[in-house]
Every structure is written in structure tokens, then in C-alpha cells.
Amino acid sequence: MNFRELGGRLRQVLRDTAVCIDHIGSTSIPDLPAKDIIDMQVTVADLDDPAIVEKLVGAGYEMRLEYGRDEYIGISNPDSLELRKRYCREPEGQRRTNIHIRQDGRFNQRYPLLFRDYLRAHPIMRDGYALIKMRLAEIFPDSIEGYLYIKDPLMDMLFAAVQEWAQATNWQPDEAYR
């Protein structure tokens, strides 16, 4: 199953609870090597809406409460609403999917969309990102924590350039992959 099929199923479950469902992560960027895992972002109007969890759990999605916030070196307040999220995994028997649920207009909702579109627009940055990911996978073949320990702060540092690009181009999310 591809993003369109998985996203369509998710849309059927969430209906109007989801503002939009976006393809994010490495599989959303053409010519970027990626694991066979689809990353999606569900944007919602209110992260605390109980219908979100009710609908997802009722349809067999696995909520993972331990992933209730994102990390970003530019926001040090661990309780910042800008980093809150919900996270779930696919129903049993479906292609591996990471589903990040974030509130519309928050920093962490915009971050993966901006990064996705920036890497699509800048092949040298895309290729450099691919090289970093491959080398980290070589260094940390059995440790996702070690891999993320290096990759995440590096991406946060690069985000300043991403934000400048977004401002200079009057960036809007790419509708083609929604």
C-alpha cells in the first residue's frame, strides 16, 4: 500500500476530525533513499478532541502514549504546546506506518511539511541528508536512539535555512501530496 491508499483509509476513519493528512518523512521526497515505512501527519483542529483517539483505536490503530511530544533544540520548555502531539501505528496486518497527529498552526505541525518541501526543492540538501542518514545507519545499525541522537539536532540546526527559504519563497504546503 502506498501513501494515497493508507491516507485514504485514515481519512475514512477520521472523517472531518482531520483537517488534512500529509505524506511526510523520507518516503515523501522523490529520489531520497528510505526505509519501507510510510510517515504521515494528521493535522487536527484540537489535539485534545477525544474523537481522535476513539476513532483511531476503534479502527485498530495502536496509540503510543510515550511519544506525546516532539523535540526541538529551539524550544527548551518541555511543556510547550508547540511540541505536543499524539502518535499511533498502523492496524495489524497493514504496511508499517508512523502516524503523527499534530494541532493545526503549531510549530511541530509546520516543521515536517517545511522540511519535506525544502528537500524536494534542493537536490544537494536532499542528497546530503541521504548521505548523513546512511552513514548514521552504518554507525548505529542496532540503535535507533543513537541514530536519532545525532540526526535530530543536526536537522534542527539546518531548520534555520529552511525557515529563511520558506520566508523568501512565500512557502505554502505542497497540495500534491495531501
Give the C-alpha distances (Å, rounded to integers) separating 27 from 12, 97, 106, 134, 138: 22, 11, 23, 15, 20
Helices (H), 19-139: 50-58, 107-121, 123-139
> Sign of torsion, CA 132 108 120 124?
negative
pLDDT of residue 1: 87
Range of the domain at 138: 3-169
Does some domain include residue 34? yes
Does some domain include residue 178? no
Does some domain include residue 78? yes
pLDDT string in tens for the chain (178-residue length): 899 999 999 999 999 999 999 999 999 999 999 889 999 999 999 999 999 999 999 999 999 998 999 999 999 897 899 999 999 999 999 999 999 999 999 999 999 999 999 999 999 999 999 999 999 999 999 998 898 899 889 989 999 899 999 999 999 886 655 5
Does some domain include residue 51? yes
**How many structural domains comprise the chain?**
1
pLDDT of residue 178: 56
Residues 3, 23 contacting (CB under 8 angstroms): yes
pLDDT of residue 105: 94
Does some domain include residue 177? no
Helices (H), 15-122: 50-58, 107-121
pLDDT of residue 144: 87
CATH number at residue 106: 3.30.460.10
Q: CA 174 to CA 41: how far, in whole Å?
A: 13
